[in-house]
Amino acid sequence: MSWIPFKIGQPKKQIVPKTVERDFEREYGKLQQLEEQTRRLQKDMKKSTDADLAMSKSAVKISLDLLSNPLCEQDQDLLNMVTALDTAMKRMDAFNQEKVNQIQKTVIEPLKNLSHRFGSVFPSLNMAVKRREQALQDYRRLQAKVEKYEEKEKTGPVLAKLHQAREELRPVREDFEAKNRQLLEEMPRFYGSRLDYFQPSFESLIRAQVVYYSEMHKIFGDLSHQLDQPGHSDEQRERENEAKLSELRALSIVADD
Amino acid sequence: MAKHGADEPSSRSGSPDREGRASEDRSLLHQRLAVRELIDTEVSYLHMLQLCASDIRSRLQQLPQGDLDVLFSNIDDIIKVNSRFLHDLQETASKEEEQVQLVGNIFLEFQEELEQVYKVYCASYDQALLLVDTYRKEPELQRHIQGIVEAVVPQAGSSGLSFLLVIPLQRITRYPLLLQKILENTVPDASAYPVLQRAVSALQDVNTNINEYKMRKEVASKYTKVEQLTLRERLARINTHTLSKKTTRLSQLLKQEAGLIPRTEDKEFDDLEERFQWVSLCVTELKNNVAAYLDNLQAFLYFRPHEYNLDIPEGPAVQYCNLARDLHLEAFLKFKQRLEGLVWQPLCSLAKALLGPQNLIKKRLDKLLDFERVEEKLLEVGSVTYQEEAARHTYQALNSLLVAELPQFNQLVMQWLGQIMCTFVTLQRDLAKQVLQRAEGSMAQLPHHHVPEPAFRKLVEDALGRTSNQLRSFQETFEKVQPPPTTQLLLPGSERQVQALLSRYGPGKLYQVTSNISGTGTLDLTLPRGQIVAILQNKDTKGNSGRWLVDTGGHRGYVPAGKLQLYHVVPSAEELRRQAGLNKDPRCLTPEPSPALVPSIPTVNQVIAAYPFVARSSHEVSLQAGQPVTILEAQDKKGNPEWSLVEVNGQRGYVPSGFLARARSPVLWGWSLPS
């Protein structure tokens, strides 16, 4: 038998204060923002470390190609320099790989995990929010029903229906309030706990840089010493380059342009 | 000065000494005059140069600076050198006896400088003449220039500028002649003689070298330019002449390949060329590799993880953001700029410089083939045409040019490459230092900065593991939020309907509507929330599994599957009903007679009091709405099912069965309804 739906009205009084709604939306919004930022951060970190690795590999290629040039066989000084350079580049590449591994383990993976968890929390969170919404609607509907009966003339059947309606309303109201309260508690807690997630990763990231760049400073410092490079300023170096170019251009076989 | 009485030619005439001495004196006089001439002409030469360089040049300001540079070339350098030269010459004037020897020595001293400075001037002289010609074509300009020249140097006459510009050429070619004149008037056994001889040949060498240099420069500038010709231009260039040249060269090459004629082996050149090829390879590879490195650096700087806002106001996250931002904006940027300026730019210049020699080497090979053919012809015929001679000459010029300059080129390039690589290393070191400074500063503010690295790594691992678990528990928290309880309470009047459906379809087929359904199509049903239906098909006629065909007990139609939820009915209720065989109060469900729960239902089926009830006797027990109760018997002592014996709050008593309802208890995790 088809059941004619009871006309559901809106309750007269505002059962959920605007501030509560606003709080709720704010907390939910913050979580959404956090989820998006985490996801994008993780992607960017991955791309950044990939570029870092590529840079290191191309540095290694520089010295490798130099080493394989036949000129090195003939010129001992050149060979020494290029060999020293090649050793340095290879060592740096190894340290870089180590650095990237550490970052992978302590930053990228946790971020991915976090993003994934956030991703999977959100369906559950959304479901919880929906259920709260559902509860709110039930609450509103039943509240309206109670108000409707309260307005009517207080006859016997009406009183009985009023009583029944009130009885129906109470659990629903309590359910909504419980859900609301829980979400309003849990969401900020969840949001607040992000500090626990991110701080170790970032600490690790900074430390990994220190380890790597210490090595880099030492290796290239030593190499620089070995190659007997005077400490010229950039202007001096530019002038040296100009001078060398002029020397080359002075040759007739070099085209002037 | 000739020594008296030494190595005199033996006099045979009557007064031999006097005659000899007379001719000696004459020679001496001529010698002195020649020296005098040298110095005097040097003075006026220098004066003329200075007039040109300062007076005339400054008045020709309306000409563009580029033109002036071509016209006057390195006249300032010439003036510098010749000033010192003159000064030294003039100093010898006091040294009477040794003057000639000193003069010779001065020439020898200045030989190198004179060559260096005059060869440049001479090489650009032709171009200067071309410019003068173009000026002649503009009457206004020509008059203006002529006016200036005549004002400063009246004796220039109508030839004007060209008269002036040729003067250094004339001078440098005159030195050997002047010296020769002095030499002729010097006694061979004089100590000055060998010096003078060397001076003469030295200055002759200077002139030869200047000519050679000029010719090489001409040949080089003809062939070093890499011409950017369009296809049309290239086609236009082809004429019978070029075609015949090319076919001749090709046939020459083929003959060589076939072994019909010997190939000119030039081991020296081949080695040189091979080395040049390796040097080229070095430069090209290095340039490409540095380009790749710069690209990757660029990509690295593109990603800015520190720009994401995680809303963390302090601690390592903030440290990291500040550090990364600093590094990106300063350390890495500076590194990139230095790399581009001090490594990349020079490499580009080097790569460009390679083109000239590469072209010349190619041309030389072409000309070599020409040369060989001409040599052949010479052997066969004994004479060659003018063009053939010229071809021969060109090859020789090219060859000697390359042989002379390639070694220097190779060496210069390798030296420069070495410098560039050293710079690269220094840049890396500087970058490391910059980053390290900042990173160490950041690290000092970290909470665990005092912890050594291995211990720290363990710490991080543990922390991450903990937070991972924490995350998971949050996820579970949210998953446990249950649907609202009212869904489970049945609407009035539906008990009978449910039983009917149950008996017709069985327990597994019953679903409850979770939210109001308003049907749109003719076959769609409109149902309120809470209604129980039985499923007939889990898809519609088109195969859409989101639309189910259901039976409400009175009507059949389609409803969206998403709004249905499986409805669990305890099977024993049915048995009870059949046993009792009575109509039930529409407001109640038959509660279980015993606490046997259906195992398939995961949640606890809780019976609760739907309405409050005040006990009126000691047999009855009071109820509060929502209170959970345990049903002991579903009927009273007389078998009347309208009353049930229940236990609630530790008390037992009878309550109206209609005041009881079964609700799926959302009891978990603090959601329990107040008792």
Where does the pLDDT of residue B393 fall: very low under 50, low under 70, confident under 90, or very high at 90 and above? confident
Q: Is A136 helix (H, G, I), strand (E, B) or coil?
A: helix
pLDDT at B601: 32
Taking CB atoms and an 8 Å cutoff, what residues of chain A touch B409?
Answer: 248, 251, 253-254
Q: Which of A178-182, A220-224, B567-571, B636-640 has the lowest mean pLDDT?
A: B567-571
Best residue of A93, A198, A202 to probe chain B, by most B CBs closer than 10 Å = A202
Does residue B641 carry a pLDDT above 80? no
Percent of chain B with pLDDT over 70: 83
The Cα–Cα gap between B515 and A133 comes to: 12
Whether domain B494-573 has CATH 3.40.50.11390: no
Instruction: Name the residue type at position A21.
Output: E
Q: What is the mean pLDDT of residues B652-656?
A: 85
pLDDT at B587: 43
Angle subtended at Cα A223 by Cα A222 and Cα A228, rounded to the nearest 5 degrees: 100
Tell me how close the Cα of B449 comes to any Cα of chain A, in angstroms: 9
Helical residues (DSSP H) of chain A, grouped into ranges:
18-68, 71-74, 76-103, 109-151, 156-192, 194-226, 234-250
More confident residue, B23 or A108: A108
B419:A240 CB<8 A: yes
More confident residue, B181 or A1: B181
Residue of B nearest to A119 (CA): B475
Residue A90 has which token pair?
């290879």
Taking CB atoms and an 8 Å cutoff, what residues of chain B touch A65?
Answer: 285-286, 289
Answer whether B399's CB lies under 8 Å from B272's CB: no
Residue B184 has which token pair?
């002729």
Facing residue for B481 by CB, picked from A131, A167, A209: A131
Distant-in-sequence, close-in-space partners of B251: CB < 8 Å, separation ≥ 6: none
Q: What is the mean pLDDT of residues A112-123?
A: 74
Taking CB atoms and an 8 Å cutoff, what residues of chain B touch A199?
Answer: 312, 315-317
Facing residue for A51 by CB, picked from B282, B289, B296: B296
Q: What is the mean pLDDT of residues B266-274?
A: 85
CA B126 to chain CA centroid, nearest Å: 43
Residue of A nearest to B346 (CA): A241
Facing residue for A171 by CB, picked from B216, B341, B486: B486
Average pLDDT of chain B, as a whole number? 79
Q: What is the mean pLDDT of residues B541-554?
A: 84
Taking CB atoms and an 8 Å cutoff, what residues of chain B touch A69?
Answer: 278, 281-282, 285
CATH class of B607-662: mainly beta
Please report the DSSP string for A182-211 in residue order.
HHHHHHHHHHHTHHHHHHHHHHHHHHHHHH
Q: Cβ atoms within 10 A of the Cβ of B28, count? A: 17
Does residue A247 carry a pLDDT above 80? yes
pLDDT at B4: 45
pLDDT at A113: 79
Q: Determine which helix (DSSP H) or strand (DSSP E) holds B664, and give its type and residue range.
A: strand B660-664
Residue A4 backbone class (left: φ over 0; alpha: ψ -120 to 50; beta: rest): beta
Answer whether A70's CB lies under 8 Å from B278's CB: yes
A202:B316 CB<8 A: yes
Best residue of B120, B308, B476 to probe chain A, by most A CBs closer than 10 Å = B308
Radius of gyration over alpha carbons of chain B, in Å?
A: 56
Alpha-carbon distance values, B34 to B1, B28, B114, B183, B196 (Å): 13, 10, 21, 9, 13
Q: Cβ atoms within 10 A of the Cβ of B192, count? A: 24
B442:A65 CB<8 A: no
Beta-bridged to residue B629, according to DSSP, are B607
Q: Where are the beta strands (DSSP E) in B490-648?
A: 510-513, 532-537, 547-551, 556-560, 564-566, 605-609, 628-633, 643-648
pLDDT at B263: 62
Q: Cβ atoms within 10 A of the Cβ of B247, count? A: 10
Q: Is B137 helix (H, G, I), strand (E, B) or coil?
A: coil
Taking CB atoms and an 8 Å cutoff, what residues of chain B touch A249?
Answer: 353
Does residue B95 carry a pLDDT above 90? no
Taking CB atoms and an 8 Å cutoff, what residues of chain A touch B419?
Answer: 240-241, 244
Taking CB atoms and an 8 Å cutoff, what residues of chain B touch A182?
Answer: 481, 670-671
B310:A114 CB<8 A: no
Distant-in-sequence, close-in-space partners of B506: CB < 8 Å, separation ≥ 6: none
Q: CB-based contact (8 Å) between A235 and chain B? A: no
pLDDT at B424: 93
B286:A62 CB<8 A: yes
Q: CB-based contact (8 Å) between A210 and chain B? A: yes
B502, B506, B512, B518 alpha-carbon torsion, rounded to 10°: -80
Q: Which of A158-162, B166-170, B646-650 has the highest mean pLDDT?
A: B166-170
Tell me how close the Cα of B191 comes to any Cα of chain A, in angstroms: 40
Answer whether B97's CB lies under 8 Å from B28's CB: no
Facing residue for A34 by CB, picked from B311, B345, B432: B311
pLDDT digits (tens, 9 = 90+) for A196-213: 878 888 888 899 999 999
Pairing state between β B660-664 and B510-513: unpaired
Taking CB atoms and an 8 Å cutoff, what residues of chain B touch A239?
Answer: none
Q: CB-based contact (8 Å) between A204 and chain B? A: yes
Answer whether B511's CB lies under 8 Å from B550's CB: yes
Does residue B316 carry a pLDDT above 60? yes
Q: Please tell me the pTM assigned to this model.
A: 0.59
pLDDT at B590: 41
Does residue A46 carry a pLDDT above 80? yes
Q: Which of A246-255, B247-256, B330-339 has the lowest mean pLDDT?
A: B247-256
pLDDT at B573: 41
Does residue B668 carry a pLDDT above 80? no
Q: Which of A27-31, A132-136, A242-246, B570-574 has the highest mean pLDDT?
A: A242-246
Taking CB atoms and an 8 Å cutoff, what residues of chain A touch B309?
Answer: 33, 37
pLDDT at B225: 61
pLDDT at B107: 92
Where does the pLDDT of residue B228 fall: very low under 50, low under 70, confident under 90, or very high at 90 and above? low
A172:B486 CB<8 A: yes
Residue B638 has which token pair?
């007389």
Tell me how close the Cα of A233 comes to any Cα of chain B, in angstroms: 11
Does residue B654 carry a pLDDT above 50? yes
Percent of chain B with pLDDT over 90: 21
Tell me how close the Cα of B446 comes to any Cα of chain A, in angstroms: 7
- Residues 3-32 of chain A whose Cβ lies under 8 A from any Cβ of chain B: 3, 5-6, 30
Q: What is the mean pLDDT of residues B232-247?
A: 70
Does residue B670 carry a pLDDT above 60? no
Q: CB-based contact (8 Å) between A116 and chain B? A: no
Best residue of A183, A252, A256 to probe chain B, by most B CBs closer than 10 Å = A252
Q: Which CATH superfamily does the domain covering B238-444 fall into?
A: Arfaptin homology (AH) domain/BAR domain (1.20.1270.60)
Does residue B89 carry a pLDDT above 70? yes
Taking CB atoms and an 8 Å cutoff, what residues of chain B touch A71?
Answer: 275, 278-279, 282, 414
Q: CB-based contact (8 Å) between A94 and chain B? A: no
Q: What is the mean pLDDT of residues A37-41?
A: 87
Q: Which of A2-6, A129-133, B234-238, B479-483 has the highest mean pLDDT?
A: A129-133
Where does the pLDDT of residue B199 fall: very low under 50, low under 70, confident under 90, or very high at 90 and above? very high
Does residue A53 carry a pLDDT above 60? yes
Task: Specify the CATH architecture of the domain B20-224.
Answer: Up-down Bundle (1.20)
pLDDT at B671: 29
Tell me how close the Cα of B37 comes to any Cα of chain A, in angstroms: 36
The Cα–Cα gap between B654 and B663 comes to: 20
B419:A61 CB<8 A: no
Residue A34 has which token pair?
């956090």
CA B382 to chain CA centroid, nearest Å: 60
Sheet holding B628-633, edge to edge: B651-656, B643-648, B628-633, B605-609, B660-664
Distant-in-sequence, close-in-space partners of A141: CB < 8 Å, separation ≥ 6: A8
Q: What is the ipTM of this complex?
A: 0.83
Tell me how close the Cα of A95 comes to any Cα of chain B, in angstroms: 13
Facing residue for B303 by CB, picked from A47, A237, A245: A47
Best residue of B425, B438, B515, B669 to probe chain A, by most A CBs closer than 10 Å = B425
Taking CB atoms and an 8 Å cutoff, what residues of chain B touch A241?
Answer: 342, 345-346, 349, 416, 419
Does residue B56 carry a pLDDT above 50? yes
Tell me how close the Cα of A19 comes to any Cα of chain B, in angstroms: 23
Taking CB atoms and an 8 Å cutoff, what residues of chain B touch A134?
Answer: 483-484, 515
Where does the pLDDT of residue B305 fall: very low under 50, low under 70, confident under 90, or very high at 90 and above? confident
Please report the DSSP string for B259-277 in residue order.
TSS-----HHHHHHHHHHH
Facing residue for B290 by CB, picked from A62, A251, A253: A62
Facing residue for A253 by CB, picked from B275, B356, B463: B356
B416:A244 CB<8 A: yes
Does residue B574 carry a pLDDT above 50? no
Residue of B nearest to A105 (CA): B461
Q: Is B654 helix (H, G, I), strand (E, B) or coil?
A: strand
Taking CB atoms and an 8 Å cutoff, what residues of chain B touch A72?
Answer: none
pLDDT at B172: 92
